Each structure stands twice: as C-alpha cells, then as structure tokens.
Amino acid sequence: MDHIASLRDTLKRLCPALELREQEPMSRHTSFRIGGPARLMALPADPDQARVAVTAAREAGVVPFFLGNGTNLLVSDEGYDGFVVRCSDRSVSSPEPGILRAGAGLSLAQLAVAALERKLTGLEFAHGIPGTVGGAVTMNAGAYGGEIVQVLRSVSVLNPDGSRAEIPAAQCALGYRRSAFTDGSRLILAADFTLSEGDPAAIQGKMDDLAIRRREKQPLEYPSAGSTFKRPSGHFAAALIDRCGLKGLSVGGAQVSEKHAGFVINRGGATCRDVLELVEEIRRRVRSQTGVELELEIRLLGVGISPARTE
C-alpha cells in the first residue's frame, strides 16, 4: 500500500485549503540549496491545518518530518521519500507587556525586528541567525553570547495525537544545540519570549554591530548551513580545521570556506555527496592531526542517510 499517496488523498479531502506539494525540490527549502524532491510536503498556515496534517499522517502510519527554514539541514541528492510538514505561521503579537508571541514559521530576523518595534531588548543576537522560531527553539539557537534559552518563556506544541500543549521553558531541556523537541516527535506551533524594555537606538545599534561582525567573519555570500560541526569540548571546530590547513579544501562544488573554516559552503553546483565526502575528509584529518573527533551540527535527511527529524 502506498501510504504517502493515501495520505495525500486524505488531506485533500479533509482540508482542501491546506497547501500540498508533490515532488517538491528540497533545494528550494534549504540554505545549502542542495537536495532532491520530497515525495509530499504540507505547508499548514495555522494550527488547525497543522493538526489535520499531523493526525492524518499518524492514522496513515506516516512519520512526518518537521521543517523550518532548512538552515541546518543537508538533504540527499535522491530526495526524501516521505512527508514533510513546514509551518508557515509567521504571526507575531504581544499578549502582555514584555512578552512576544511568535508563530513557528516567523524568521528570527523578523522576530528581532518585531521586538525592536516594541522597544524590547533581548533578541538582538537572533537578528542574523537564518532560521525560524520553531527551528531556533528546537536547536536552542545562539550567537555572540546570546541563546534562545535566555529569553524563552514557553512553547506551544502539537503532540502526535493532535492534542496541543503549552510547555514552560524550564521543561524544554534546552542545552547546547538541543532541546526536548530535537527528536522531532512534536511540532512546534509558536513560542513566547520574555523581554525587557530597552532603548530603540541602543537595540538597533547592537543589531547593526553584530551584522557587521557577521559579514566580516562569515561567508554569507555563499549557500551553507552555518557552522558545520558542533563545538568540541575544550576546543573550537573552526580553529582545529584551520590549524590542520584545511581552508579552501574542496570536493566538487563543496568547499571549506577560506573566510571561516567552520563553514562548508556551496561554491556552485555542490551535491549532497560532495558535502558528505568533504565532511568526512575534514573529520579524518582533524582526528589524525589533533586527536579530536568532530561531530556534525548539520542535520541529515534522505535516502541512504541516517534521517534527522527536524532542523
């Protein structure tokens, strides 16, 4: 039985307004610009549509993959023979003073701007992180001394059975690039953030300063998935890679950035295989020369690759 085809037909019947795409190129949905087609993709516009998608998938025996902006994801060249759910809720509101509630599909840049417009400080660090609220909570995204854990108040999720739950930040198990949602079993719908009143000029100034620092140090001109490896205990991955003389090392269209050794970039036409072969060569050389084992921060999805559940 073709479970994906059955699921597609069920969703069309149950929720005609739900946007569905078949054989959708994942290269359009990842910052690497790499990846073959997803068999079926749903783009729920609100929690009700999301609930229909998730419960129908469960009843069809299909495990959905929850996608954000794909900024930490590498997809197989063969694609993904499964069901992808990408929340497109980009709503933002202030339910009470000092609290910002954002839909899972809102970008972190938009979230930081929304805070600025309300004269709220605490999210400046997030302005340059190229992910969504859902993905940022899942991975406890952070940069330049700031992390989601510092400002998160609660998370609204959809359980596999379709029920909704509001989870306080203290129960989200936020750690270094992980959370209670990293296994992808629950779909993040929205998140609340606790912020402080601030001076708009100072907030804007800090955001501008961090933007300049990012442009100077990171290869933003090329597609990538950000930091390729997690930070090893007692070390920095980029420093180890640089010390091993690997800047500029290439496999096909994939290259270790000459600007920042912690980034593997798509110089043009890179395939998933190119990236994986380059990653393994980096790990081999760093292990051989320093004794340090590098662990991927990028999530993997697709045929022949150990699947991750969310990026």
Residues assigned a catalytic role:
177, 227, 297
CB 171 within 8 A of CB 156: no
User: What φ, ψ does residue 83 adopt, rounded to 5°?
Assistant: -115, 120
- From 82, 155, 33, 156, select the one nearest 309 (Cα to Cα): 82
Q: Give the Cβ contact number of residue 227 at 10 Å.
A: 20
d(CA 48, CA 44): 8
Cα–Cα distances in Å, from 12 out to 19, 22, 41? 9, 12, 12
CA–CA–CA angle 36, 263, 68 (5° rounding): 45
What crossing angle do the helices spanning 3-14 and 47-59 adopt, rounded to 10°?
A: 140
